[in-house]
Structure 1
Amino acid sequence: MKHLRVILGDQLSDQISCLEGWDKSRDVILMCEVWDEATYVKHHKKKIAFLFSAMRHFAAELTGQGYKVRYIKLDDADNTGSLKGEVSRALSDAGLDCVVTTFPGEYRVLEDMKSWGNDLSVPVEIRSDTRFLRSPEDFEIWASGRKQLRMEYFYREMRQRYSVLMDDGAPAGGQWNYDAENRKPPKEGLNIPKPYYGEPDEITAEVIEMVSKRFADHFGDLEPFYFAVTREGALEVLRLFIEERLKNFGDYQDAMVEGEPWMYHSHISFYLNCGLLNPLECIKAAENADAERKAPLNAVEGFIRQIIGWREYIRGIYWLKMPEYAGENFFNADRKLPEFYWTAQTKMNCLRQCVTETKENAYAHHIQRLMVLGNFALLTGIDPREVNEWFLVVYADAYEWVELPNVSGMILFADGGYLASKPYAAGGGYINKMSDYCRNCSYKVSKKNGTDACPFNYLYWDFLGRNREKLAGNHRMGMMYRTYACMGEEKHRAIQADADRFFADLDDGEIV
């Protein structure tokens, strides 16, 4: 049989499973830029440019390796605009009689793939995505019978399964988790290395020009463009992280500094999630740094936990709970997403910094996403559908499999505690401790009430008050509810008044 082997834009690896058994004389690879995928949400301009450039570079590399590649650019005259349409056209044009592809990263794409067989009258084989370390079927087996699916237990099992940071069957250093050592606030004089900066080549320049014309109404800054768009470049990003940033990553992974969006983070999620890097090589690089004493164990373990633990766990949750998971809304939140999530026009400096850097870079690190952008959405009761779409739009590493569980489960507690054991809600004190944002803010983080008080302070207690019926029984929230009860009715009324005033201004489109 003559196979059409379909590679998606987040599967840019020559080890992808759909290429196994390739017949050089008969088979054809299809890669395509299609309007449907670029616009089902209005992705950040830099995200589109990154993926299209990486796809074009990867297609050229495959061609150089002797593969027969059919590559459809977005502005090709006959482009049908949809993945199914391009599969149909390729089958017809090349006289192929079956399709082989790899399990996709989004539920809607999987459902589309499942329709190809009937709609196109060809056999379709959807192979497991072996770039991940745990299949959805295997995760379902692990989850079966468990009352709570806590990541920590999954992570320990993965460490043992892959012999990562293990010493004669025990965790290296005697502990599984060094997270308690990874919460240092920023200090003056941090020497933060510059991030990777890739100079756009002719392929990237062509993509940038096309994106600037075709996606002018999409969010975000297109230039300067600095992402790696090849495997060689992605490996260089990983090398720079291991050599220059990893040693400080653990200590300051939760820290936020004005004007320093990249901090000591790895910035490899772009490349892991589109296939230019694979998880085990990243894990091995960090293990080697530990063995060679180039980085402390708390940093190495914290980095590895994000990949072998959290990343795999999140993907497992997504495929276990879809499609129902997309509709979860435990708090019945229904507020519209504020306009400042697009414009950065807000008096709250922490939010202004995070939105501005997101607009510029299609990136924000995990504490900015969780404890500033996400925390505000949680406290103010923004509709999970709108928050999920925003996160999917604005970040270049965002695909639904990784975005949805992080937002609905971790950030918004919209699943009622299926993923996280408590809501990650916090007042202004947390942001002040972990950043320098508050010193340049219009509000005073030291004030708890009043028009010049940090809104996070009274919004936090208002969130607890209005959701008391749903959260008071959570054992991890007991101390906070006891504190709330001790405040007394007068304090409760002041919190309520401040929150009502703030929400009125927010809903009226005032700059808050």
Structure 2
Amino acid sequence: MKTLRLLLGDQLNQKHSWFRGSQENTIYFMAEMRQETDYTVHHIQKIIAFFEAMEKFSEWIRNKGIKVIYYRLNDKKNKQNLIKNIEDIVSRHKIEKFEYQLPDEYRLDQQLQQLKGKLSIESQAYDTEHFLTDREELCDFFHGKNSLLMESFYRHMRKKHKVLMNNEKPEGGKWNFDQSNRKKWNDKLGKPKQYQLKSNVTSTLARIKKSGVKSIGKVDPENFIWPTSREDSIKLLRHFCQYLLPHFGDFQDAMDPNEVFLYHSRISFSLNSKLISPKEAIDTAIKSWKEGKASIGLNQIEGFVRQILGWREYMRGVYWMSMPDYENQNKLKNSNDLPDFFWNAETSMNCLHKAIQNSLDNAYAHHIQRLMITGNFALLTQTHPDQVESWYLGIYIDAIQWVEMPNTRGMSQFADGGLVATKPYISSGSYINKMSNYCRDCIYDVKQRTGENACPFNSLYWNFLIEKRKLLKDNHRMSMMFNLLDKIERKELVEIQRRAKKFMTKKQ
């Protein structure tokens, strides 16, 4: 039976069972398409990374002696639409069966369901064989429970997969070392040793530009820093385990204006495109920890495991449990526009300038920069979650909707009303000052709430509490904040709101 197998751009799993056994009468199909480059405005490095990784993966398949149809963006046969391309190939190649791996994005899942209804041949879906859960596992786990507490799910995953466990008890007697992951970094340890990956992507960039694809950010095409092959992804993972894991847990929340990655692994694109699997990332890190326990503390390895085994799988479960209604959630009724400086970093607030400039330069910011700098500011200025989500989905190299949406709409913007987060993740400038070195070089005074020199985060924070009090008054985790709000004198509250309104109405 002549079979067509579809591979999407985030399904680059060399270990998939599809590639074992006979491939006779099987054709694989991959395509760069405008439907994928244009559904939001993406960072140029993100587009390049996917196209480079896809093309290398198609070559890997071809080198195994398997037939591959690969459409580049400018190929004449490319109809720029998934359904139209597959229908055309099925017709021209007289395909008798269509197979695909389950997509991780709801929109693509719906598109392929629609395609199955249109095709007159047999269709079959397969698991991607990547995640440590299936789509429904989180929903089943929390069935009948009152809340979706990530910590409960994380412990379930640790037990199920026997990760960092001593029989039925957690390694070291504690499940979570998050309290030990909040140190402020300075360069007394020396600069973190980064893996120097530099590849030439000139031809891919030229193809994208020639096609007229709109993008944001910048790229040095002769020194592309992201892994786009399994081999480079594994090298990056091993480098992390050897040089960065020993301090990862301590400083995973730290921020510094002169350090792009600090001790973070940079494997999120490799994971989300499936060049490597979460299991091998966890297994590799734990192996390094066991071999170097004297130099790698338990809080370092547990912090890494929690991000992948816990948070990543949890976000995916929330996504599939909550779609399609989730993408319309706006429980705080925010409606303002995203400030213009999110697209050019032209703001005098040093933390925002550095975090956004880093994002534009590298298609990257780590989770605290996303949550407590850009996300915090967007929430405090009461920006519509659709606009925030679109920006996050476009700007980061690892942003695919299944992971980006619940992190942004749920964790960052509290638009789901508390499904993911137990309270809004908001702060004044004090948290930013505690966890970063941004404030020391800023024109604003982080200690002041009012006055022209006062940190904007301070007035925005208290104004948010004033304006959203009715919506959040029943959240017990907000009670201390509201008690502190009640202690501020009326005259100062008026000035706080005046200053906050000024920043909320300014485009810059």
TM over 0.5, shorter chain: yes
Of 185-194 and 46-55, deviating more is: 185-194
| C-alpha separation in 1, matches of 2:296 and 2:432 | 27
SS at match of 2:247: helix
Q: Equivalences for 1:44-83 in 2 at 5 Å?
A: 44-83=43-82
**Amino acid across the alignment from 2:356:** V
Once residues 5 and 23 of structure 1 are traced to their aligned partners in structure 2, the CA distance between those partners, rounded to angstroms, is: 14
CA RMSD of aligned residues (A): 1.4
- Give the distance between the partners of 1:206 and 1:288, measured in 2 at CA: 39
1:177-256 mapped onto 2 (5 Å cutoff): 177-201=176-200, 204-215=201-212, 217-223=214-220, 224-256=223-255
Q: Which residue of 1 aligns with 2:100?
A: 101
Structure 2: distance between partners of 1:44 and 1:439: 30
Q: Where in structure 2 are the equivalents of 1:480-499 lying within 5 Å?
A: 480-499=481-500
Q: Please name the residue that 2:261 is paired with.
A: 262
Residues 16 and 129 in structure 2, CA contact (< 8 A), matched pair in contact too: yes
SS of the aligned residue for 1:496 comes to helix
CA contact (8 A) 2:73 2:211 kept: no
Q: Distance in 2 between matches of 1:160 and 1:402?
A: 23
**Farther-moved stretch of structure 1 (395-404 vs 207-216):** 207-216
Question: 1:290: which partner in 2?
Answer: 289
CA separation in 2, counterparts of 1:444 and 1:410? 28
Q: Distance in 1 between the 2:457 and 2:212 partners? A: 35
Deviation at 1:502, TM superposition (A): 2.2
Q: What aligned pairs does 1:387-466 form with structure 2 within 5 A after superposition?
A: 387-466=388-467
In structure 1, distance between residues paired with 2:194 and 2:10:
23
**8 Å contact kept, 1:16–1:102:** no
CA distance in structure 2 between the aligned counterparts of 1:321 and 1:171, rounded to whole angstroms: 30
Distance of 1:287 and 1:199 partners within structure 2: 28
Counterpart contact for 1:45–1:215, Cα < 8 Å:
no
Question: Equivalents in 2 of 1:196, 1:183: separation in Å?
Answer: 24
Matching of residue 34 in structure 1 with residue 33 in structure 2: yes
Amino acid in structure 2 at the alignment position of 1:161? K
What is the alpha-carbon distance in structure 2 between the residues aligned to residue 205 and residue 8 of structure 1? 23
C-alpha displacement of 1:20: 6.3
**Residues 463-472 or 222-231, more deviating:** 222-231
Residue equivalent to 2:15: 15
Give the superposition deviation at 1:330: 0.9
Q: What amino acid sits opposite 2:7 in the alignment? A: I
- How many positions carry a matched residue from both structures? 504
**Alignment partners' CA distance in 1, 2:377 and 2:255:** 16
What is the CA distance between 1:90 and its match in structure 2? Answer: 1.7
Contact map agreement 2:193 2:243 (CA 8 A) in 1: no
Inter-partner Cα distance in structure 2 for 1:60 and 1:246: 33
Structure 2 unaligned runs (5+)? none
CA contact (8 A) 1:449 1:498 kept: yes
User: For residues 122 and 360 of structure 1, what CA distance do their matches in structure 2 show?
Assistant: 46
Q: Is the 8 A contact 2:102 2:127 kept in 1?
A: yes
For the residues of structure 1 that align with 2:169 and 2:359, how far apart are their CA atoms?
Answer: 40
Look up the equivalent residue of 1:230 and give its one-letter code: S
CA contact (8 A) 1:116 1:122 kept: no
TM-score, L = length of structure 1:
0.96
* Structure 1: gaps of 5 or more residues: none
Q: Distance in 2 between matches of 1:177 and 1:383?
A: 33
The answer as to whether partners of 1:261 and 1:357 remain within 8 angstroms in 2 is yes
Offset of residue 353 of structure 1: 0.3
Deviation at 1:210, TM superposition (A): 1.5
Q: Name the aligned partner's letter for residue 383 of structure 1.
A: H
Does residue 381 (structure 1) correspond to residue 378 (structure 2)? The answer is: no
**SS state at 1:477 partner:** helix
Shift of 1:188: 4.0
**CA-CA distance at 1:198 after TM superposition:** 2.6
- In structure 1, how many angstroms separate the alpha carbons of the residues matched to 2:120 and 2:160? 41
Letter in 1 for 2:327: A
Give, in whole Å, the separation in 2 of the partners of 1:70 and 1:473. 56
Helix, strand or coil: the match of 2:188?
coil
CA distance, structure 2, for counterparts of residue 74 and residue 192 of structure 1? 40
Measured after TM superposition, the shift of residue 466 of structure 1 is 0.6
Question: Between the two proteins, what is the percent identity of the paired residues?
Answer: 40
- Once residues 287 and 347 of structure 1 are traced to their aligned partners in structure 2, the CA distance between those partners, rounded to angstroms, is 42
Partner of 1:479: 480
